[in-house]
Structure 1
Amino acid sequence: MVAEFMLVFVALPVLFAFVKVPGGPIPILLLLTVVVAFYVRRARDFDRRDLWRASALRPALPSILRLWALAAVVAVAAVLLFDREHLFDLPRRNPALWALIVVAYPVVSVYPQELLFRAFLLHRYARLFRGERAAAAASAVSFGLAHLLFGNPVAVVLTLLGGWLFARRYQRTRSLLTACVEHAAYGLLIFTVGLGRFFYHGTHFAS
């Protein structure tokens, strides 16, 4: 079990960072999503209601929105102070691509990542960690490592923080939908305020 975790969530992300894979990360992510989806459907001890549980979203929204609003203010201020020319550059310069990301990103990128790094990881490898916080930390670190392929520390640091936030949200709500909504909100914030280039890989995007 330890070897499997290290292979999937440590070795493969590090390999991606140093080996250029044709097509970028999205095709591999979607392939892993299919494998993981098959696993969670077959695992008898996995509660498949955790993959949606819409009833958990509304109670969590006030907390999600408060933290997101604070992050939005910080993100806009940071870009304004340190990289003003890129502030809101994607919606300003390429509104069609921005609109496509708004529509496609939650489905093509967010849900597969949450399925892999939250639902799958936190269930299959739970016995490897002492308590939920340790498991959430493992999820966060794995999520950060998966973004090494973008070749910059900004992507790794932001996804490390985001990975912790999304893992704890999933643990508290047992709702992958709720974690996905939060993940999508931060990802779209990144692509909107001018930080998207740190998460851009060829013609593919992820966060």
Structure 2
Amino acid sequence: MGQGRLWLRVEFAALYLLAPVTMALVLPPRALFPMLFLLTGVGLVLLHRTPGFSWASLLRGRVRWGQLALFTLGTALLAWAVLRWMAPGQAFFLLHYQPELLAMIWALYPVLSALPQEIVFRPLFFRRYGVILPGGPAIMVLNAAVFSLAHLMYWNAVVALMTFAGGLVFAHAYHRQQSFPQAVLLHSLAGNVLFTVGLGIFFYSGNVARPF
């Protein structure tokens, strides 16, 4: 194994495995988001230094509006079903009681959360570390798995399953459809729909309860 590939494996393990596990097991909930922003910054630097990468490439790619509409509807129906089963009292809570906060989430989530996450988990993952990862469908499953692992800090099975499923969709948009804008829009809509329906309660760091 060349020294370059060995270093890439170290980077990958630190960024996508060690960091999320450390956040989930060690850091207090109030430190989770500062740590996430720090890791995002590190990821941006690594991507900028990746040979052959161009920031302009992130602007390329077709936006599939029909896919966005179907995905939004499917996400809303799934979120509603899960919420009715697990926390029916939270249904449309923000929409009813804190519409200003919900409007702020719709405005800021795509820029402050979905976009940074997509940069780290899609272009950085595939462009910088693709040479050390398996090919074919396996690389997208692995991408969804590490994306789900990044949400371990919430200690919630619903979050783990939904982020894995979402990760598969976002990875397909970026890796198969070659469209970073589509991946960002899908991620943005998923997050905003979850908060609108009420499932955002599971993605709130104030509700984190470690099982130990």
Q: What TM-score do the two structures reach when normalised by structure 1?
A: 0.87
Q: How many residue pairs align between the two structures?
A: 201
Q: Which residue matches 1:25?
A: 32
Matches within 5 A, 1:1-207: 1-21=8-28, 23-53=30-60, 55-57=61-63, 60-202=64-206
Q: Is 1:150–1:201's contact at 8 Å kept on the other side of the alignment?
A: yes
Which letter does structure 1 place at the counterpart of 2:190? Y
One-letter amino acid of the counterpart of residue 197, structure 2: V
Q: Which amino acid aligns with 2:37?
A: L
Contact 2:145/2:167, CA 8 A, preserved across alignment: yes
1:56-107 per-position Cα deviation (integer Å, ceiling 9, x unaligned) = 11xx221232132123223223323543211111221211211111111111
Contact preservation (8 Å) 1:18, 1:149: yes
Per-residue Cα deviation, 1:120-169 (whole angstroms, up to 9, x for no partner): 01111112223242221121111111111012111111101111110111
Using the size of structure 2 for normalisation, the TM-score is: 0.85
Which ranges of 4 or more aligned residues in structure 1 deviate by more than 6 Å? none
Contact kept? 1:24, 1:201, Cα under 8 Å: no
Return the alpha-carbon distance in structure 2 between the equivalents of residues 160 and 75 of structure 1.
Answer: 14
Q: Does the aligned pair in 2 maintain the 1:26–1:109 contact within 8 Å?
A: no
> Contact 1:170 / 1:179 at 8 angstroms: preserved in 2?
yes
RMSD over aligned CA atoms reads 2.1
Contiguous gaps of at least 5 residues in structure 2: 1-7, 208-212
8 Å CA contact retained: 1:122, 1:136: no
Determine helix, strand or coil for the equivalent of 1:43.
coil
1:117 CA displacement = 0.7
